[in-house]
Amino acid sequence: MSVPPALSVQGLSIGGDPFSFQVMPGEVLAVLGDNGSGKSLLLAHLSGHLRVPAGSVKVEGEDLRAALAEVGVIFQHPGLIRNMTVFENIALPFLVHGLDLNGEIQEKVRLRMRMVGCEHLEDQEVHQLSEGDKRCVSLARALSGPTRLLIADEPVASLAPGKKALVEELLVCLVRTGVLSGIIVATQDLDFARRIATHILLLHGSSHSILSTEEAATNEHCMAFTTRSH
Amino acid sequence: MVGLRVVPRVLTGRATIVDRETVRQVLGFLGGTAGASALTTFIYGLAAAYGIIGNAASPEAFESLVLPHLGGAFVQFVIPFAIANLVVLKGVVGMTSDIASMRVSQEIDALEAVGLNPADMVFAPRAIALIITAPSLAVIGVYSACLGAWVVAWITAGADLSSFAAAYASSVTSGALLLTVVKLAITATAMSIIAGFFGFMGAKAESGFVGKITTSAVATAVFSSTIVNLFLTLLTSLFSSK
């Protein structure tokens, strides 16, 4: 029996040519493009935040609407709930499923805090955090609950080099060990994309192309984008 | 009714995340407005008593003719107006700007992503806080206004607090107090709907213009609160005169 793709997109349109692509289990797709190229819009469709106007999006063979609980999302703004502590924010997906804050989720939440290196921030209010720490907490929250597919908009933006390396390593580890079936990241950082992705979806103008990371190294649009980014 | 369901769960230690947020909002709103409402109604009481005593023929005339009706008049006309203003200023401004800025900062999106309905988690706790707190503030207001009026009576005529308070309280009927509580609960419900509408819908349409959205919400709330108050006062006067 064949394994269903972690994510399957058919005929999705965000204004330009319709998208059709698949992310197989164990793969990481990096969505690369200039400011305003539609990366965040594409991710909003893939995470179910915006309704898919045409075409279909399936997660592990299931329609996106039915599989939303298994999709973890890191938004462009970290979206941490302002009047909750770091611990409560990360616990939120567990609490939604009726688990008690004082019970078994304590260890689960602390594990996720250790994974992203923010265990020392447990009792802090989120408005006291730096932008980088907010990103890490947002990642930990996206990994809480029954997450199988991670959709991340600029997950390493504003992270210090040490934290960036930790997050890169974590994402690769989670997808290679099968904890996550796939990851889709939107980024403007081509080096980061090359390090963690198996494929790159390059958005340019109203068109797009899917490249392997090797092809991205020599693709003229990627090179032009890298030049502009630097 | 949603608010009532929260209480047993909180008391038995089985509070959900929404229950905890509701309790947090109720305590926050009560803490943030109790002092202001006590002070505002104290000043209303002070000003009203000063105006009346200044125009009364003698302090005895005030005591025998005005004081027996003062509490009732405050409860019916002054307190609802004063508390409604506070609810508009603190409640509508806070709630609209909270919801609108939470949409802009993608907190609402994040709640949806983890499977929480923003209406349950963001709107309902704030609306419940407003609806529970506004009538409670009216009770605080009745006694603060009494204290304000007594200060003037004490300075001008050396009135004794206990006898002044007894005469004042005799005119505050439980029916009038209940009507005020209901009136404020209705006003707070209307204000919550306005704040929720502008917070969610306004921010969707004009992402980023939190200040503009809040101003529009306040303008609508001030107008609506005046209309609601006027309508309810006319309605209660109509019934009480029959």
Confidence at residue A150, expressed as pLDDT on a 0 to 100 scale: 94
Instruction: For residue B110, tell me if it sits in a domain.
Output: yes
Instruction: For residue B242, tell me if it sits in a domain.
Output: no
Instruction: For residue B91, tell me if it sits in a domain.
Output: yes
Name the interface residues of B facing A (CB cutoff 8 Å): 14, 16-17, 21, 24, 102, 104-107, 109-116
Secondary structure string (H, E, C) spanning chain B: CHHHHHHHHHHCCCCCHHHHHHHHHHHHHHHHHHHHHHHHHHHHHHHHHHHHHHHCCCHHHHHHHHHHHHHHHHHHHHHHHHHHHHHHHHHHHHHHHHHHHHHHCCHHHHHHHCCCCHHHHHHHHHHHHHHHHHHHHHHHHHHHHHHHHHHHHHHHHCCCHHHHHHHHHHCCCHHHHHHHHHHHHHHHHHHHHHHHHHHHHHHHHCCCCHHHHHHHHHHHHHHHHHHHHHHHHHHHHHHHHC
| CATH number of the domain within which A45 lies | 3.40.50.300
pLDDT tens profile A152-168: 999 988 889 999 999 99
Q: Provide the percentage of residues in chain B whose pLDDT is more than 90.
A: 29
Closest CB to A79: pick one of B17, B106, B116.
Answer: B106
pLDDT band at A225 (very low <50, low <70, confident <90, very high): low
A145 and chain B: CB distance < 8 Å anywhere? yes
Q: Which residue has the higher pLDDT, A229 or B67?
A: B67
CB contact under 8 A, A81 and B106: no
Which structural domain range is residue A54 located in?
A: 7-229
Confidence at residue B10, expressed as pLDDT on a 0 to 100 scale: 63
The answer to whether residue A101 scores a pLDDT higher than 80 is no
Instruction: For residue A1, tell me if it sits in a domain.
Output: no
Phi, psi (rounded to 5 degrees) for A180? -110, 140
Looking only at the bridges linking them, the beta strands covering A7-12 and A19-23 are antiparallel
Distance from the Cα of B115 to chain A's closest Cα (Å) equals 7
CB contact under 8 A, B111 and A69: no
CB contact under 8 A, B106 and A96: no
CA B31 – CA A27 distance, rounded (Å)? 52
CA B23 – CA A180 distance, rounded (Å)? 36
Q: Which residue has the higher pLDDT, A218 or A165?
A: A165
pLDDT band at B192 (very low <50, low <70, confident <90, very high): very high
Nearest CA in chain B to A81: B107
Q: Choose the weakest-confidence range: B56-70, B90-104, B190-204, B221-235.
A: B56-70
- Chain-centre distance of CA B48, in angstroms? 20
Instruction: For residue A27, tell me if it sits in a domain.
Output: yes
Instruction: For residue A109, tell me if it sits in a domain.
Output: yes
Contact list in A for residue B103 (CB cut-off 8 A) is none
* C-alpha separations of B222 from A56, B76, B182, B215, B231 in Å: 47, 19, 19, 11, 14
Probe site for chain A from B10, B104, B114 (most A CB atoms < 10 A): B114
CA B188 – CA B25 distance, rounded (Å)? 14
Phi, psi (rounded to 5 degrees) for A101? -60, -30
CA B24 – CA B130 distance, rounded (Å)? 12
Distance from the Cα of B26 to chain A's closest Cα (Å) equals 14
Average pLDDT of span B206-227 = 85
CB contact under 8 A, A79 and B107: yes
Confidence at residue B7, expressed as pLDDT on a 0 to 100 scale: 65
For this complex, say whether ipTM is above 0.90.
no
Instruction: For residue A72, tell me if it sits in a domain.
Output: yes
Instruction: For residue B203, tell me if it sits in a domain.
Output: yes
Instruction: For residue A205, tell me if it sits in a domain.
Output: yes
- Domain count along chain A: 1
Instruction: For residue A115, tell me if it sits in a domain.
Output: yes
Residue A208, beta-bridge partner list: A203
